[in-house]
Every structure is written in structure tokens, then in C-alpha cells.
Amino acid sequence: MRILALVPGGIGDQVLFFPTLDNLKQAYPQARISVVVEPRAKGAYRVCKSVSEVLAYDFKDRNSLADWGNFLGIVREREFDLVLSLGQRWTVGLLLWLTGIPQRVGYAGSAGEMFLTQSVPLKTEQYAAEMYHDLLQGLDLSLPFSGLAINVPKSDISWAETTQQQLGIKDSGYILIHGGSSLLAQQLGIDKIYPVEKWQKVIQDMQQQQPNIPVVVVKGPEDEAWVNQLTQSCRDVKVTTPGDIGKLAAMIAAANLMVCTDSAPMHLAVAVGTYTIALFGPTAPEKLLPKNDRVIGVKSPTGKIADLSPEEILKKVWGG
């Protein structure tokens, strides 16, 4: 059996879709599962054990007829038996219909619903990972949602252990900070970056309250300017630069505490079970975080992340 999943969005969206893929593999253990994702999100599947193949297609790009033709050719030659789609545009639905895949599952009420063979209700008020998991209803699968989980390669765990040794934090433990935002989010004007001067107050209080626990900042490929600005203000923090999602997940898993903005690392922290404080501006914590006593969302009262006070964050950090 061959199964295809269309998963638009970034790395965070892929991690949120992992429980659905894992349950598909559980229901069809002999199946070969392929996913179609945007090029920027391919790296997420380094930590997913249920997928055999990752195909790239830029859902947001202005694809030409030639691009459509190439994509259709790639999909048709694999002769998939069924496809799950998070895409709701009519163009995505048409594309699925043209592939000739006999069973096509997506959301009811979407612009592309007419091209589906099964549709399920779109319940946007719930945790996004559970909303994605609802697609399994279109296959008459009633497997329970079990939460996010990832599979970190042993080589990435070894890398993280070596890095901790080099930073001098192997035995002390550490607080991990991630405050960057994807370039796409910045281009779209999505308010996810907490001001450096307020991070400085948070970090200084952590260092005063727990002087023996180092503070480590994650520096991703799009975070250089933010990290440079932060380290100029907080010279005692250490910096880690994981080369991929697996290494980042391993660093998060070993942390005593993760403090971050709404981002892909936040979802990784949920998946590995690290105690996490997540900062939210315009987005809704209840849609992006599970009901879990190991993860706390701190929402700005105005919807602007800059209006979130350091005192409110620290109150959650210290359990006040």
C-alpha cells in the first residue's frame, strides 16, 4: 500500500502532523508513506520515523503548468492508493483529482472539497495537532490522539552531548532560550519576536535566581541578527548552533527549561517533554499547545508580543 500526505507549511506544521503519520503507520504497518512539503520544511523529517519519502513542492509559489506537470508525473508514477491533504485551496484539490489517486481525504468546507472522495469536519478551535489527526476519520480509523513524538537520531544525541561538554554545561544542566522567528513570518509581518531589552530582564533574573544554571541561546540559520544583539546585552549567555532539527531537538531534550516564542522549536520541546514556557503575541496558545502541565503558554494581553512583561514571564518560570 502506498500513502501520500500533502502538508503545506513550515517545520512546526510538519511536527504537528507527526501523530497523524505515526497512527497511519500503526494502522498500515506495511505501507510506504510519502509526504509532499514545502522545500523549507523538508528538514523536519529527520526526526520522523513513519515516513519513507519526502517530496518537495512549493504550495505558495506561483507554479507554472510545467511545474504542475512535473509534480503530477512524480505522483502518478508512484501509484498511490490514498492521499491525505491539509491543503484547502481549490488548486490543491484539483491537483489531487488530476493525480488519479482513488481515495482523497481532506476537510469539509474547503474550496477543494468537490475534488475529495472523503471529507471530515474542520474544527479549528482545537489543538492543531488534533485538528490534523481528525483526517484519519475519513479512513474510518478511530485511533486515539497520543500527542507529539519524534525520533532523534543517535548521532544527533551524541552531537548534543559533545556540545554540552564543550560549553561546560554537561553536569550543571541549562536553561535554553529560543527567541528568533522564521524569515517568512517576518516577511508576512507576523509578530513573534520578543524585544531584546525585555529578554535581557528575563535572563538577568534567571541568572540571579539560579546562578549555577547557565543560560544557553539557540542560534538558527535565520537568527544571527537577533542572537548577536542579545549576546551584546547579555554577555554571560552561551550560544549553541545546531545544524539541523535532530541536533536542535537533542539540545532541547537535555535542557532543564525551555523559554521560547511561538515557533518550530516550541513544538519540538513539546515532543521531547522538556518543561517549556512559550510566549505568544497574536497567535492563540490553546490552538498551538496541548493541555499539558509541562508546557505553559504566556499570552500578550494586547496581542502584541512586545507588550508581554518580563515580570509575567518570570512569574511562570518560578511558578508564581
State the distance between the two ends of the chain, measured CA to CA, in whole angstroms. Answer: 52
Residue ranges, comma separated, of all CATH 3.40.50.2000 domains in the chain are: 2-139, 154-319
Count CB atoms within 10 A of the CB of residue 144.
Answer: 8
State the fold for domain 2-139: Rossmann fold (3.40.50)
The pLDDT tens digits of the residues spanning 83-103 come to: 999 988 888 888 889 999 999
User: Hunting for cell 520578543 — which residue is that?
Assistant: 194
Do residues 111 and 90 lie in contact, with contact meaning Cβ atoms separated by under 8 Å? yes
Burial label for 216, CB within 10 Å (0-12, 13-18, 19+), is: buried
The pLDDT tens digits of the residues spanning 205-227 come to: 999 999 999 999 999 888 888 89
CA separation for the pair 116, 105 (Å, rounded): 6
Q: What is the mean pLDDT of each run of 10 residues along the chain (320 residues)?
A: 95 97 96 95 96 88 74 91 92 88 94 93 96 96 93 98 96 92 54 88 94 94 87 90 97 97 95 96 94 94 93 88
* Bridging pattern class, strands 215-218 and 103-107: unpaired
CA separation for the pair 92, 115 (Å, rounded): 9
> What predicted TM-score, i.e. pTM, was given to this entire model?
0.92
Q: In angstroms, how far is CA 316 from the centroid of its own chain?
A: 23
Three-state DSSP class for residue 3 = strand
- Best CATH choice for the domain 154-319 from the list 3.40.50.720, 3.30.200.20, 3.40.50.2000, 3.30.70.2190: 3.40.50.2000
User: Hunting for cell 520544511 — which residue is that?
Assistant: 41
Do residues 96 and 83 lie in contact, with contact meaning Cβ atoms separated by under 8 Å? yes
DSSP assignment letter at 87: -
